[in-house]
């Protein structure tokens, strides 16, 4: 599913590069002592695409063993807003904390059909507002010249862990039914756990401007906890994990 944001990421990165090159002045080095700061703070804004991954068990293919005969995840775009704090460990190694709020609103989690009514495709819908708390080790390169400007940018990679907590995870869900004859909305218990943990990795580029550092980055986040609450509806599903793809712009001092 990562390819869904590929065009948006490439276009956004190119536009940022062009705008930064037009702002910078040739021959002038901005923030020359930035590498000597023991720590620095900032904020972040971006978009993310999230979806569920289903690990089916043997009961899924056994006739009459489960109410669910097919199930497919739905991807959802959300806005992410966060704060960022970076601690310098060495010349090229940093520790980064980036608590973020993911605002998704009401979203369709997955679609499925039942064995007793395969012609009716049902959709599980639930509201979501996730707090994402990632801690990562960041490895960055030396600053280098770009677009004919001195020490304008550097690239970096990072790897770490995360904890996600859905503030609306205990709320009830809604099953949406749309077939040829009728359309209905049925309240239902939330089938997913609201707490998750996992690992994240990504890469980015930092542009050093006169008053701030702008860093567009791409991050891939994978949940390790089984989100399946064990509801009878999903009895044929062994594990459910949550995956995210982020495109974020960090603005730091």
Give the whole-angstrom CA distance, residue 5 versus residue 245.
Answer: 8
Q: Is the predicted pLDDT of residue 68 greater than 50, yes or no?
A: yes
Across the range 225-251, mean pLDDT stands at 93
- For position 24, what pLDDT does the model report? 45
Across the range 79-102, mean pLDDT stands at 96
Of 41, 153, 33, the closest CA to residue 87 belongs to 41
Q: Domain span at residue 93?
A: 2-252
Q: How far apart are the first and last CA of the chain?
A: 34
Q: Is the predicted pLDDT of residue 180 greater than 70, yes or no?
A: no
Mean of the per-residue pLDDT values for the chain? 86
- For position 62, what pLDDT does the model report? 73
Number of structural domains found in the chain? 1
Across the range 199-214, mean pLDDT stands at 95
Alpha-carbon separation of residue 170 from 10, 54, 86, 129, 192 (angstroms): 37, 21, 33, 11, 9
Across the range 168-188, mean pLDDT stands at 77
**pLDDT tens digits, residue range 96-150?**
999 999 988 888 999 998 877 778 889 999 988 999 999 999 999 999 998 878 8
Structure tokens at 51: 């979806």
Where residue 164 sits, what CATH number does that domain have?
2.40.160.20
Confidence of residue 1 (pLDDT cuts 50, 70, 90): very low
**pLDDT tens digits, residue range 146-164?**
887 889 999 999 999 999 9
Of 200, 206, 208, 203, the closest CA to residue 250 belongs to 206
Cα dihedral value 58, 63, 68, 69, nearest 10: 90
Angle, vertex CA 205, rays to CA 165 and CA 220, nearest 5:
35
């Amino acid at each position: 599913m990562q390819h869904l944001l590929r065009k948006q990421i490439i276009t956004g990165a190119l536009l940022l590069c062009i705008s930064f090159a037009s702002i910078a002045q040739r021959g002038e080095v901005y923030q020359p002592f930035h590498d000597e700061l023991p720590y620095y703070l900032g904020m972040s804004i971006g978009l993310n695409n999230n979806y569920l991954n289903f690990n089916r068990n043997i009961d899924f293919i056994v006739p009459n063993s489960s109410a669910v005969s097919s199930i497919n995840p739905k991807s959802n775009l959300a806005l992410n807003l966060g704060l960022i704090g970076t601690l310098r460990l060495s010349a090229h190694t940093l520790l980064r904390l980036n608590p973020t709020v993911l605002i998704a609103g009401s979203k369709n989690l997955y679609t499925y059909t039942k064995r007793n009514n395969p012609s009716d495709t049902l959709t599980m819908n639930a509201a979501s507002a996730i707090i994402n708390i990632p801690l990562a080790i960041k490895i960055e390169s030396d600053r280098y010249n770009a677009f004919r400007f001195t020490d304008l940018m550097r690239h970096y990679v990072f790897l770490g862990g995360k904890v996600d907590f859905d503030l609306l995870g205990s709320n009830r869900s809604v099953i949406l039914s749309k077939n040829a004859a009728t359309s209905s909305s049925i309240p239902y218990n939330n089938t997913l756990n609201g707490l998750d943990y996992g690992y994240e990795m990504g890469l980015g580029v930092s542009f050093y401007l006169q008053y701030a550092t702008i860093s567009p980055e791409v991050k891939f986040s994978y949940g390790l906890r089984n989100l399946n609450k064990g509801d009878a509806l999903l009895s044929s599903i062994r594990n459910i994990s949550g995956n995210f793809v982020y495109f974020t712009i960090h603005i730091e001092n």
